Structure 1
């Protein structure tokens, strides 16, 4: 497939439904995990224009920064710390409408206002998280959760 995305306007759900097959096509046949994470976050950033999006990978009992799009980020996060570390510890997607109201939020950038973190599970174990930050409050909802959970499952972390 050509590496050009077909960016569409429409509802959030319409945008995801058009983007998911394009991401699947980008990843098809590519065995390199870093390349696949990088293309996934780039495609999401292009389509939605979020402030920051990237993967953190579980390494030696901490989350380590992986491929991302956006300004420089926190490099390491301990389990249970901030939204990413909490999502990892709970093995569940967390939607935070206002990061200032999240106990223990790690402010990698003061411009981040809302966040969603989706854990990547393999064999019932969190191996990474997808972190998405918006510069607006209340940017994420269950539609984002549903489709971002599908998207992280397209990336072969096994």
Structure 2
């Protein structure tokens, strides 16, 4: 099902291909865990220079680790703590070029230097966050932010 894009394709074409693959992966699958697991694997293998891609799910009190690809991670994150907790509580995407400069950053993987976190929201209800880390500072840009917000919106519909 996963198809790597040729190197001569444009970045926007690769993003569109990933979104198409995501829809194909989750189509007709009612299990949220299976969908999140496949979505995190799709992202990890589609986004170069990343070391962690996955989800934290909101349990009504805090964020709890969900399916992911990467090294073992922090299990629980309070709202307003770290990049994930801040993005969740503010319900907005955070792109952090240097996580070491982010107040209250939670270092689950010492190799991570930049991070993007996109809230998962459906019907104005917080479901969790999509979290992607990179060992490269300033790895994530505005085009990638827009792509990941579209990715998160598709996922929010099926969890």
* Superposition TM-score tier, normalisation by shorter sequence: over 0.9
Distance (whole Å) between structure 1 residues aligned to residue 114 and residue 130 of structure 2: 14
Structure 1 length as normaliser, TM-score?
A: 0.93
Which portions of structure 1, spanning 4 or more consecutive aligned residues, are displaced by more than 3 angstroms?
A: none
Shift of 1:141: 1.4
Residue 105 of structure 1: SS of its match in structure 2?
coil
Aligned residues: 156
Equivalent in the alignment of 1:105: 105
What residue ranges of structure 1 are gaps of 5+ in the alignment?
none
* RMSD of aligned residue pairs (Cα, Å): 1.3
Distance (whole Å) between structure 2 residues aligned to residue 66 and residue 124 of structure 1: 21
CA contact (8 A) 2:55 2:67 kept: yes
Equivalent positions of 1:49-128 (< 5 A) are 49=48, 50-128=50-128
What residue ranges of structure 2 are gaps of 5+ in the alignment?
none
Distance (whole Å) between structure 1 residues aligned to residue 119 and residue 35 of structure 2: 16
CA contact (8 A) 1:84 1:117 kept: yes
Distance (whole Å) between structure 2 residues aligned to residue 4 and residue 145 of structure 1: 22
Structure 2 length as normaliser, TM-score?
A: 0.93
